[in-house]
């Protein structure tokens, strides 16, 4: 019998598979399909302080090996998530959750971190630093070492839960950003967020989505994600959650060999709502084929 367990900052996971924020909502669309407790954890819908409708429609564009989205952090806001969405999800999922939080200023991040730290069901804070800093000229927090350091330090001052910084790939040197987060006290890192992409409707001669550009995800970005996870995991000592285009159990193995301690499954859930279940069920078989007895033994095994 193979061992598919892993660990993130002292939190034991029965397996490394976590649905990624933004692709699993608050679980409601999935809990009638299968037992959510088979999942390692769930990174629920990215939450902001105030309710957000999101960006103007259309905000999804299909690609041959993925999709582009510009949803714009649509969510019911922090208070509703804590008082309504998490309790509902907790009836169907009985393990520590990953709370993905997004702010447009340092005080917003701090407010979210303080509130989510008090939620018993939350095990890890996953901090999305791809939001534009409204007090810093609109540049995303995650594109600057200084901004990432500041966000991390301020959140760590108030958080009672492990803090994982979710890194943007839209930078020239992701390793320096990762090290800035670690040096500022991050307990772990999540990567990669979506790449920046665009589609054009050649009949209308207009961008497909209203915002012109959006986040590109899906199988096409998997090699980029593997490369960045490998580079970052070799440069830091904190655990890494790897994501970006994972669509099968073989991808999970590859991402963990690159250095990830756990993985998040994103766009695959939108193609097949049973994707996470199938990956978890396939994982032991793939491990047996590759003579892997214990999944945690392969983390970062590639030199």
Query: What residues does each domain of the chain span?
Result: 6-55+73-197+218-298
Nearest to 260 by CA among 300, 219, 224, 301: 300
- Euclidean distance between CA atoms 152 and 105, whole angstroms: 12
Catalytic residue among 131, 145, 276, 301: 131
Q: By the 8 A CB rule, do 250 and 271 touch?
A: no
- Euclidean distance between CA atoms 20 and 268, whole angstroms: 10
Predicted structure pTM score: 0.97
CB atoms near residue 210 (< 10 Å): 14
- Euclidean distance between CA atoms 45 and 213, whole angstroms: 21
CATH code 3.20.20.70 for 6-55+73-197+218-298: yes
Active site residue 131: yes
pLDDT for residue 136: 63
pLDDT for residue 134: 61
Burial of 135 (0-12, 13-18, 19+ CB in 10 A): exposed
- Euclidean distance between CA atoms 4 and 279, whole angstroms: 12
- Euclidean distance between CA atoms 21 and 26, whole angstroms: 9
Residues in the chain with pLDDT values less than 70 = 132-139
pLDDT tens for 221-257 read 999 999 999 999 999 999 999 999 999 999 999 999 9
Residues across the chain: 303
């Amino acid at each position: 019998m193979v061992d598919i367990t892993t660990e993130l900052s002292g939190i034991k996971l029965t397996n490394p598979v976590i649905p990624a924020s933004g692709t699993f909502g608050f679980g409601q669309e999935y809990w009638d399909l299968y037992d959510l407790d088979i999942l390692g954890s769930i990174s629920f819908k990215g939450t902001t302080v105030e309710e957000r409708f999101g960006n103007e429609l259309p905000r999804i564009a299909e690609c041959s090996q993925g999709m582009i989205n510009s949803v714009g952090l649509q969510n019911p806001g922090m208070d509703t998530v804590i008082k309504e969405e998490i309790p509902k999800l907790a009836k169907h999922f009985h393990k520590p959750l990953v709370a993905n939080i997004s702010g447009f200023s340092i005080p917003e991040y701090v407010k979210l971190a303080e509130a989510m730290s008090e939620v018993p069901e939350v095990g890890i804070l996953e901090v999305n630093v791809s939001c534009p800093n409204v007090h810093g000229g609109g540049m995303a927090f995650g594109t600057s070492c200084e901004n990432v350091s500041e966000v991390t330090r301020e959140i760590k001052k108030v958080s009672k839960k492990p803090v994982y910084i979710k890194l943007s790939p839209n930078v020239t040197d992701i390793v320096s950003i990762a090290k800035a987060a670690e040096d500022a006290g991050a307990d772990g890192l999540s990567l990669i967020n979506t790449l920046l992409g665009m589609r054009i409707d050649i009949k209308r001669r207009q961008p497909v989505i209203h915002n012109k550009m959006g986040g590109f995800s899906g199988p096409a970005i998997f090699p980029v994600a593997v490369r960045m996870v490998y580079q970052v995991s070799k440069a830091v000592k904190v655990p890494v959650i790897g994501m970006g285009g994972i669509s099968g159990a073989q991808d999970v193995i590859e991402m963990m060999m690159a250095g990830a301690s756990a993985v998040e499954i994103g766009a695959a859930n939108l193609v097949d709502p049973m994707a996470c279940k199938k990956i978890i069920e396939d994982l032991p078989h793939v491990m047996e084929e590759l003579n892997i007895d214990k999944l945690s033994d392969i983390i970062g095994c590639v030199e």
